[in-house]
Amino acid sequence: MSNIYGYIRVSTREQNEGRQILALQELAIPPKNLFMDKQSGKDFERPQYRKLMRKLKKDDLLYIKSIDRLGRNYSEILEQWRILTKEKGIEIVVLDMPLLDTRRGKDLMGTFLSDVVLQILSFVAENERVNIQQRQAEGIAAAKARGVRFGRPPKPLPQNFCVICEQWAKGKMTGTAAAKECGIPLSTFRYWAKVYGSKA
């Protein structure tokens, strides 16, 4: 007897999986047959996905909300689809794309259309991921060009730094004593002395 399963993935722990859960709950999938991972789709090393793969048997039915829930890498999505449909012999339904329903179109034309749609959607999913990364990189570069600084703001120099640094440079005190006098670690004092010492 075949079973019905559902798989849900969100990229981070902060993302809300509610939309996917609601869509799958409408299909009367037993709660014990719903599997969910909260991590990146860049690879398939996901605990719940692996658990699901062990349970799936020939002629079982798997629902996913969209094709990129399998992952975002073009070749890996296609490989997983091949493993699921050809090696495991299960049926897959992608809710956001009715053409990706392996229960329909078992003839040559139906299989051909399904394969073409799958390849196009996989390419679009990966292309969007690449575009997002490129937009992020361009945004960071543009912000840096405008003088926006990333990371923690630099710690201000202690008021007595210039005087202490000058005494240290003349050998009137040790680096350890100078750092203690400034209230900073020795490594920080040495770094600042190198960067700002000429201005001291």
Residue 105, judged by CB atoms within 10 A of its CB (0-12, 13-18, 19+), counts as: middle
Dihedral angle sign, alpha carbons of residues 150, 155, 156, 162: negative
The pLDDT of residue 113 is: 63
The pLDDT of residue 67 is: 79
Torsion of the alpha carbons at 120, 124, 130 and 136, rounded to the nearest 10: 170
Place of tokens 């299989």: 111
The pLDDT of residue 82 is: 84
Q: Write out pLDDT tens, residues 69-83.
A: 877 677 778 888 888
Residues with active-site annotation: 11
DSSP state of 119: H
What is the C-alpha separation between 133 and 130, in angstroms, rounded?
Answer: 5
What is the C-alpha separation between 14 and 35, in angstroms, rounded?
Answer: 18
User: DSSP labels for 136-164?
Assistant: HHHHHHHHHHTT---SSPPPPPPTTHHHH
Collect the ranges in the chain with pLDDT lower than 70.
12-16, 40-44, 72, 105-114, 121, 125, 150-154, 197-200
The pLDDT of residue 46 is: 82
